[in-house]
Amino acid sequence: MALPSTARNDPSADERLQIIQAGTAACRLYGPSKTTVSDIARLLGKSPASLYRTFPSKADIWDAIAADFFESDLRFAPSPAGDPVGAADQLKQTMLGHHRLLLQAIHGDPKMFDLIVLSASSNWSSFRQFRNRLHGLVGELIRVGIGTKEFQPTDVRAASCCFCASLLVLWDPRIVGSTPSNHCEISAHKLVSFAIDGLR
């Protein structure tokens, strides 16, 4: 987790980061349903009560851990601006990239994946930030596509929400985690291409 420069010398920010790192380690050992605040405190060599001086509740600790995982492990960036890639191709990269990162988490980091499913199911701020960031990125790419005449002029915010809603199966951890890979014969590529065609 990268801290902003203004927080690097802030003791409370350092304390927060240490708790998040220890909480992530505990979650990977025991899973989110079995990890306790005492487990996290033990890894830090502190008392459980001391953690509540930084976070008001266990749920707030989990939310911060999930936010860090969303930010560090599930952030996908499409091709940089200036690359000779159209908006439609960048949209496809973005949705397939998010889907791929979630699948990697399911198989490579299953206990942390369970945590982000909990975040989505509980509508924690960490999941809302992840969702809003994706909506914003999609909206910006739609705006670019309208400017280059790849897409029809439209209400960008509404188009972004509808586009993401139509592809929920690819980026919402609750659905990605509960859908067998062979559940549907339609590939992720075809789903995204179909959604993009609706913007043209």
Which residues lie below 8 Å from residue 3, measured CB to CB, with a gap of 6+? Answer: 13, 17
pLDDT at 78: 72
- Residues 146-167: pLDDT tens digits? 999 999 999 999 999 999 999 9
Gap between the Cα atoms of 69 and 112, Å rounded: 8
Task: Encode burial over 128-139: b for 16+ CB neighbours within 10 A, e otherwise.
Answer: ebbbeebbebbb
Q: Give the tokens for residue 102.
A: 């979630």
- Residues 99-145: pLDDT tens digits? 999 999 999 999 999 999 999 999 999 999 999 999 999 999 999 99
CATH (residue range 5-56): 1.10.10
pLDDT at 44: 96
| Model pTM score | 0.87
Residue ranges of domains in the chain: 5-56, 71-197
Hey, what CATH topology would domain 71-197 get? Tetracycline Repressor; domain 2 (1.10.357)
- Residues 38-63: pLDDT tens digits? 999 999 999 999 999 999 999 999 99
The yes-or-no answer to whether 5-56 and 71-197 have a common fold is: no
CB 15 within 8 A of CB 55: no
Residue 7 confidence (pLDDT) above 60: no
Gap between the Cα atoms of 141 and 127, Å rounded: 21
Handedness of CA 94, 99, 104, 109 (dihedral sign): positive
Element (H, E) at 50: helix 48-51
pLDDT at 8: 46
Which residues lie below 8 Å from residue 1, measured CB to CB, with a gap of 6+? Answer: 17, 20, 21, 68, 71, 72
